[in-house]
Amino acid sequence: MSVLSRIREDVAAARAHDPAARGAVEVFFVYSGLHAVWWHRVSHTLWRRGLRFLPRALSQLARFFTGIEIHPGATIGRRLFIDHGMGVVIGETAVVGDDVLIYHGVTLGGTGHSRGKRHPTIGDRVIIGAGAQLLGDIELGHDSAVGSNAVVVHSAEPWTTLTGIPARGRPRRGAPRAEQPDMADFYVI
């Protein structure tokens, strides 16, 4: 997929997620969430080629201009939209699926000082509410939703809504019957 096609796809995704978006030109020029993702793509490409300082410097420059910090080692899927992105932090080993919507103040962070995979893996079509904290090497299934200010420290099945501190899961409204998880599989802290 060409760079121009990816940019068009990102702008279309932003317009689809944000009812306040007035047009493609406005989205292209003023949506900091898109700019942070675009900067990340450049720094991630350099990171994968074995460079370390330049990608980190670019990510910090992007953070300065957008208020969004995405580590160049993070893997980001297509059509990620970060709405009102100030304060979003995405850690080095985080994996974010396609068509994910993240609101401001979200952290996809690690716990401890161990090496290796230490940040969350987010499935496709997940919505993460403002101020939510997803911590550690956990996995959120496709089509899940995380409520604002939730603190998620355990993995969740697809079509799960997570709320609270610590977050507890329940089947998400609108889940297809065949995909609704059995509540016996959920554990509560």
All structural domains of the chain: 3-185 (2.160.10.10)
Query: What pLDDT score was predicted for residue 189?
Result: 38
How far does CA 164 lie from the centroid of its chain?
Answer: 19
Q: Which residues contact 163 (CB under 8 A, 6 or more apart)?
A: 146, 147, 150
**Which helix (H) or strand (E) covers residue 160, if one does?**
strand 160-163
pLDDT band at 174 (very low <50, low <70, confident <90, very high): confident
Whether residue 6 is predicted with pLDDT greater than 50 in this model: the reply is yes
Give the residue with greater pLDDT, 76 vs 179.
76
Of 17-21, 78-82, 160-164, where does mean pLDDT reach its minimum? Answer: 17-21
Whether residue 62 is predicted with pLDDT greater than 50 in this model: the reply is yes
Is 159 strand, coil or helix?
coil
pLDDT tens readout for residues 7-54: 999 999 999 999 999 999 999 999 999 999 999 999 999 999 999 999
pLDDT tens readout for residues 105-118: 999 999 878 889 99
Query: What pLDDT score was predicted for residue 183?
Result: 45
Residue 104 main-chain phi, psi, to 5 deg: -65, 155
The rounded mean pLDDT for the chain is 91
Q: If you average pLDDT over residues 172-177, what whole number do you get?
A: 74
The C-alpha angle with vertex 111 and arms to 149 and 162, in degrees rounded to 5, equals 30
Whether residue 67 is predicted with pLDDT greater than 80 in this model: the reply is yes
